[in-house]
């Protein structure tokens, strides 16, 4: 596999080929993972519909945001009712939502970053993600 720099040069040299490749990958996902239009359930179950939008990123690459509607899934109102009525379902929903959202600092996850810092530089009551770093020393 070419390194990241070589891949970016290839995309810059031929963005149309990259867009066609991206389209092929998305089409194969719909055909083989969702099995849309085949009459059989896909990997995620029976798909009722899908919608997606493509955007470009700063690295010249394309990026897809997609919504899937699954048959036999709970409606938003059913989810709300279950969250209000069942503490177990509420906890499961919170755990699932938290598993879908992650964030990292430029140098890795917060736990790893904190592990790399000397303990004397970490105040127990301060979150390093909530403050600005110190300015680098001036260059003479």
Structure-token pair, residue 58: 């700063």
Query: What gap in Å lies between CA 30 and CA 44, rounded to an integer?
Result: 11
Q: Please, what's the b/e burial string for 103-134 (b: 16 or more CB within 10 A of its CB; e: otherwise)?
A: eeeeeeeeeebeeeeeeeeeeeeeeeeeeeee
Residue whose pair of structure tokens reads 């009525």 in the numeric block = 85
Share of the chain above pLDDT 70, in %: 87
pLDDT of residue 53: 93
pLDDT of residue 76: 86
The ranges of the chain with pLDDT < 70 are 103-104, 117-129, 140
The 10s digit of each residue's pLDDT in 17-38 is 889 999 999 999 999 999 998 9
Structure-token pair, residue 117: 């810092």
pLDDT of residue 8: 82
pLDDT of residue 29: 94
pLDDT of residue 129: 66
pTM of the model: 0.55
CA angle 84, 86, 88 (to 5 degrees): 130
């Amino acid at each position: 596999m070419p390194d990241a720099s070589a891949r970016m040069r290839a995309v810059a040299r031929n963005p149309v080929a990259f867009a066609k490749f991206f389209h092929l990958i998305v089409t194969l996902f719909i055909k083989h993972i969702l099995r849309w239009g085949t009459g059989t359930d896909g990997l995620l179950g029976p798909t009722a519909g899908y919608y997606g939008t493509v955007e470009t990123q700063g690295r010249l690459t394309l990026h897809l945001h997609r919504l899937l509607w699954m048959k036999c899934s709970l409606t938003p109102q059913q989810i709300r009712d279950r969250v209000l009525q069942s503490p177990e379902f509420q906890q499961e929903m919170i755990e699932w939502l938290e598993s879908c959202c992650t964030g990292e600092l430029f140098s890795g996850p917060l736990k790893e970053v904190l592990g790399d810092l000397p303990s004397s530089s970490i105040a127990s009551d301060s979150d390093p993600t909530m403050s600005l770093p110190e300015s680098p020393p001036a260059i003479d």
